[in-house]
A and B are shown apart, each in its own frame.
Chain A
Amino acid sequence: DSGVTQTPKHLITATGQRVTLRCSPRSGDLSVYWYQQSLDQGLQFLIQYYNGEERAKGNILERFSAQQFPDLHSELNLSSLELGDSALYFCASSVDDRGTGGANVLTFGAGSRLTVL
């Protein structure tokens, strides 16, 4: 168990629908990252939050949004779903210890597998 919790593990829905994926970071970690892993695209960085604020944005579609709450858990909202959104969505967290420099290790959750029919 990595300490990063993602729910749900599996989700099947229809095109046009909206879903919410939830992530609880490892205790003490302030940064949360969202990644999309599809067969033909590899691991794509979507968005990062640090202590409640958006820090970095990657290839996130306008139909997708995310937020990080005061208790540091994060939610990724996917709307107007299309068949191509079917993928494994990962959340990762890190300490983000910028004070001492260095690249933080990202600790990943087990992922949420989304199937859009």
Chain B
Amino acid sequence: AQKVTQAQTEISVVEKEDVTLDCVYETRDTTYYLFWYKQPPSGELVFLIRRNSFDEQNEISGRYSWNFQKSTSSFNFTITASQVVDSAVYFCALSLGDNYGQNFVFGPGTRLSVLP
């Protein structure tokens, strides 16, 4: 069965600090997809990124970057120069790509607080 672990329950940083959110996943499948979602205080879950298991290239989008390492089954998310608006709960998720709901597994989330 698939599993996603986000060991950091809560993180607090001061604005402009860099912060990395860890995500470790477990699956026996060779084809899978990894996601990050953001849940701001308003409550809605917002899609940030999707990665497939065959593409280990790191990705950068503005202040956000993602480091995918199959060797350690990790898909970590780094926010550079954090801002107060980055305060949210961040979820890492794993999908087998078959588009069956039970195979789209979310981690428990990491609550990030960015203090001014």
On A, residues with C-beta under 8 Å from B are 2, 31, 33, 42-43, 45, 47-48, 55-58, 88, 90, 92, 94, 96, 98, 101-111, 113
Contacts and interface: CB of A to CB of B under 8 A. Distances in A.
Given A88-B43, A103-B33, A107-B47, A58 B101 contact: yes
Contacts of A47: 101
B4 to A, nearest CB: 10
Contacts of B105: 45
A108 B33 contact: no
Contacts, number: 68
Interface of B: 32-33, 35, 37, 42-47, 50, 52, 91, 95-97, 99-109
Contact of B99 (A2, A98, A111): A98
B27 to A, nearest CB: 12
B101 A33 contact: yes
Contacts of B37: 108
When A and B form their complex, which 3 residue pairs have the shortest distance between CB atoms, in order from nearest?
A48-B101, A103-B33, A103-B95
11 contacts: A2-B44, A33-B104, A48-B101, A56-B101, A57-B102, A58-B101, A88-B43, A102-B52, A108-B45, A110-B42, A113-B43
Given A42-B109, A106-B104, A96 B99 contact: yes
A55 B44 contact: no
Given A103-B99, A106-B104, 16 more contacts: A33-B101, A42-B109, A43-B109, A45-B101, A45-B104, A56-B100, A56-B102, A58-B102, A92-B45, A98-B99, A103-B95, A103-B96, A104-B99, A105-B50, A107-B47, A111-B43
